[in-house]
Amino acid sequence: MLKIFKYLRKKDWGLILLSLVFIIIQVWLDLKMPDYMSGITRLVQTEGSAMADILISGGKMLLCTLGSFAAAVVVGFLVAKIAAGLSMRLREKVYDKTMSFSMEEINGFSTASLIIRSTNDITQIQMCVTMGLQAIIKAPIMAVWAIVKIAGKGWEWTAVTGGAVLILVLMLGIIIALTMPKFKSIQKYTDNLNRVTRENLTGLRVVRAYHAENYQEARFEKANNDLTQNNLFTSRAMAFMQPGMQLLMSGLGLAIYWIGVYLIDGAIGPDKLTLFSDMVVFQQYAMQVVMAFMLLTMTLIILPRAAVSAKRVNEVLDSEEKIADGTTTGPELYEQGEVEFKNVSFRYPDAEDYILHDINFTAHKGETVAFIGSTGSGKSTLINLVLRFYDTTEGDVLVDGVNVKEYTQEVLHNKLGYVPQKAVMFSGTVASNVTYGENGKAPAETDDIREAIDIAQATEFVEKMNGTYEATIVQGGTNVSGGQKQRLAIARAICRRPEIYVFDDSFSALDYKTDRSLRRMLREKTSGTTSLIVAQKIGTIMDADKIIVLDEGKVVGQGTHHELLKTCPVYLEIAQSQLSKEEIENA
């Protein structure tokens, strides 16, 4: 938890010091009131005392109360500002850190866990800071100051107060020891509940299509029950704190008065008056001591959970980035749009087997290079190395003659127009999705958007939408079909005007006619731009300048469609499964 405080700014530490000043003022005013109470007690018991003197002492007590209230309001305002600012910076840092993660780190934490860490966990920290800065600072000052005030007023009263504090500390220690492991589990179960819910909502169509509602309900019930049982245990344990504190305070007050009666009964003359006054004052100060520990309990109720949350947030912030940014901003004298693989091998973290083995090829400027192979042959993995979603295990990937590891990620990605296997749409409009992101060039104009959509064969359906180019796209693009999403995703890459297009099986949802028209328009309008295409359908790639055939992570063939039909058995087998005998013979 203490590591979180390193994200406080100098201004925040200044506000904490200012809060300390107001807390000291508040404690001084609170502890001043028993002195006035003692004076009033003496005046009431002394014959001939003037009512005006009693009213003056009462007025001073009222002023102390009002002053304490005002100081408490100021402290509350200051600590709320500190806590809100800290949580805002933590959310920003967790978000920025997450955005810098490679696929390896994302998969290591899981999406559901990262969402909980950036929302619920940081909220727990904010609550703890808000209450903790008031209680943790105020409680020790109040306790020490009150003890100094009551010192020497009777060892009997001091002993019973010390015993009450000891019982209180013991009770808190037992409760915290029991609940801390459960608080750690609560966050894990919250992650699991979020994951199950997210999977169910994301895959709702599949759940219904396979009539798996009962199965999903059972999964949710188990995740919900695990979280509920842990919450119930901690809540029941914490339920003992408040009544236990009240019982202790009432018992302490009763003990002080019982001892006071015994002492006063044995005193003679003026000592009776002194002892009675001391008893009233001691009872007030003893309550302040216990109140100080009650303040600590307020923090201790949320501290265990906040400590777990802080650890989880720090795990994200302190995690080492596997993909380190380079320093190169781009080659000055080199043909742009060239991609080269030199002896590249790759295996996923913690995996024993290599996915790619000794890959070598060059895609020259303006060429269309396609990759085909059976499922699991490493096609998408190979493309991910160009985008630097992962780094090579062995060998080098060069873009424009420079190793991708040497580029800043911003410069590298600005060279690429990427269309993933699963088209992703963001809430907004058609235009905002097509112009999504920045690529270091001038912002796209209306004509650029229209041209990109036209090349992607999306004009027909876009202009039929309500609002056309400003038509609403809902979250996830659920108001457009899979093929429409894919075409808009392709238009997004085209509008970017990149050096290199990267299509990761991006034509799979298109019919044959749309596929051919799109690729023809793409060739005509973006000539001179390099294209890397991953595909399952031979019809999509048969016109490519170079086709690379992958089998079990190895290159088993390179060449044009006609060459590979004659020289590569794997490619011929794929062709025979997709093309008629006449189409193969006439190739």
45-59, 263-277, 339-353: segment of lowest average pLDDT: 263-277
pLDDT greater than 60 at residue 577: yes
115-119, 214-218, 239-243: which has the minimum mean pLDDT?
Answer: 239-243
Nearest Cα neighbor of 135 from 180, 191, 76 is 76
H-helix or E-strand containing 550?
strand 546-551
pLDDT at 121: 84
- Please say whether the dihedral angle defined by the alpha carbons of residues 119, 97, 347 and 493, taken in this order, is positive or negative: positive
Number of Cβ within a 10 Å radius of residue 251: 14
pLDDT at 334 over 60: no
Q: Where in the chain are the domains?
A: 2-317, 325-415+498-587, 424-496
Cα separation, 587 vs 582, in Å, equals 8
Q: What is the structure's pLDDT at 448? A: 83
CATH class, domain 2-317, is mainly alpha
The rounded percent of the chain whose pLDDT value lies above 90 is: 3
CATH code: domain 424-496 is 3.40.50.300
Q: For residues 157-171, b (16+ Cβ closer than 10 Å) or e, as one string?
A: bbebbeebbeebeeb
- The more confident residue out of 478 and 439 is 478
* Mean pLDDT score across all residues of the chain: 81
Residue 495 burial (C-beta neighbours within 10 Å; 0-12, 13-18, 19+): buried
Q: Are 134 and 23 in contact (CB under 8 A)?
A: yes
- 582 and 575 in contact (C-beta within 8 Å)? no
Give me the pLDDT at residue 131, please: 79
Question: What's this model's pTM, rounded to 2 decimal places?
Answer: 0.69
> What's the whole-number mean pLDDT along residues 87-94?
89
φ, ψ for residue 328 (rounded to 5)? -75, 135
Alpha carbon distance 371, 374 (integer Å): 10
- What DSSP string describes 331-381? -SSS-TT-EEEEEEEE--TT-SS-SEEEEEEEE-TT-EEEEEESTTSSHHH
* pLDDT of 332 strictly over 60: no
Q: Is pLDDT above 70 for 272? A: no
Q: Give the pLDDT of residue 176.
A: 76
* pLDDT of 586 above 70: no
Query: Mean of the pLDDT values across residues 485-501?
Result: 87
Question: What confidence tens digit (pLDDT) does each residue in 126-167 have?
Answer: 888 887 777 777 777 777 777 777 666 667 777 777 787 788
pLDDT of residue 269 exceeding 60: no
pLDDT for residue 275: 66
253 contacts 283 by C-beta, under 8 angstroms = yes
DSSP one-letter string for 385-413: HHHTSS--SEEEEEETTEEGGGB-HHHHH
Averaged pLDDT for residues 566-587 = 78
Domains 325-415+498-587 and 424-496 share a fold: yes
pLDDT digits (tens, 9 = 90+) for 292-331: 777 776 676 677 778 878 888 888 888 877 777 777 766 5
Please tell me the CATH code under which domain 325-415+498-587 is placed: 3.40.50.300
pLDDT at 428: 87
- pLDDT at position 341 is 92
Residue whose C-alpha is closest to residue 38's, from 392, 333, 285: 285
pLDDT at residue number 333: 41
Question: 3-class SS at 419?
Answer: strand
Q: Is the dihedral of CA 196, 506, 509, 536 positive or negative?
A: negative
pLDDT of residue 268: 53
Mapped onto helix, strand or coil, the DSSP state of residue 530 is strand
